[in-house]
Structure 1
């Protein structure tokens, strides 16, 4: 992975700027508010309210800063819903980067910082149980190479934008991702490109265009009915 540097987004939370791609890891309008809106509100909350699940298997495409993972871990404990979280990241961050991130400041409980670092410091390719409700498996596999016997209830598709990482958004990859979803599985992403919506429909998902997080007009959710 190329050089990254910490930036401050408009809600005060950190993100990273990837110099080689000329791209940020999160919305400049606010990293924490974007992740909470896209992946918790329109993802996990939707899944819980729509299907009444008591256990959720998550596949995250892009562990990145670990923001989605710590938000999900805290959500699992608060809702008392067991979550098995599998996350893909071919290019893990160096410790001096993730140790400097300020996401703990956006929780009332400041011990979140310790749990955030636990997620980053947990061994790769090995399950780590953070609490009775949250287990994580981090793997350095690329999505294209990822193999598993499991199906998932929700996919957090958080790759870099199609304009920067087109190979992550082609029909072949979208088809593979949809194939990893169980019945009523949810594909959730910040992206709202027309081609993505057409591809999700083509692989059998029911597609919804939703209002986007602050600063973004739209986002997409697909459901495997």
Structure 2
């Protein structure tokens, strides 16, 4: 799948897919969106109540932005995380090299970890640091069997429903719902009514939260 590197309004990079006419992140700011949706309203509340190692599932590894921001949080955390991430279209090395995350990852240690995330092998666990274990899965969510009652947190970061409708069905969210632990949380940038109805049909409690710059709302759901 052909992609092009684009700069967003906060200076951070995203990718554009001409075939879908879709960006990986908000053009208003890739970094701002990821911090607001996945870290502030997803990871931080889960960490505040965590008593065991956190099991995290990400749908859409993409540029690795959510993963490196999550790792950043664990630099000062006593907890550990098992970070599973599903990606149907892994990026080629020449695209990764163009991302220039140096522009907003000013911590040299964090930049080294970012490179390590991308260098990690697919379909096997890799210890990126003592409290951060990554498993990049080259897989299609539609056909991938998720383990039951496993995840404390899900980052749902697939392409928009109108671009990838097969990933926004009742069946998909029923699958994710059974994979969440009781009390587990799902967060997404999406706020469409059909998405919220699918989450509710999966037995999750849904709340609308203020969105990142450029979006009025985002969604958080809890099992």
C-alpha distance in 1, partners of 2:207/2:146? Answer: 27
In structure 2, the partner of 1:23 is 22
1:167 aligns with 2:197: no
Q: Distance in 2 between matches of 1:40 and 1:68?
A: 8
RMSD, aligned CA? 1.3
Aligned mates of 2:184, 2:109 — CA distance in 1: 32
The answer to whether the 8 Å contact 2:14/2:30 transfers is yes
* Counterpart check, 1:137 vs 2:135: yes
1:79 corresponds in structure 2 to 77
Alignment check: 8 A CA contact 2:155 2:186 kept = yes
Residue 183 of structure 1 is matched in structure 2 by 182
- TM-score w.r.t. the length of structure 1 is 0.95
User: What residue in structure 2 maps to residue 43 of structure 1?
Assistant: 42
Q: Distance in 2 between matches of 1:125 and 1:163?
A: 29
C-alpha displacement of 1:149: 3.6
1:14 corresponds to which residue? 13
Gapped regions of structure 2 (runs ≥ 5): none
In structure 1, stretches of 5+ residues that fail to align are: none
Show the 5 A alignment for 1:51-200. Answer: 51-149=49-147, 151-200=150-199
Distance 1:53 1:40, change over 3 A: farther
Q: CA deviation at 1:74?
A: 1.3
After TM superposition, what 4+ stretches of structure 1 lie above 4 angstroms from structure 2?
none
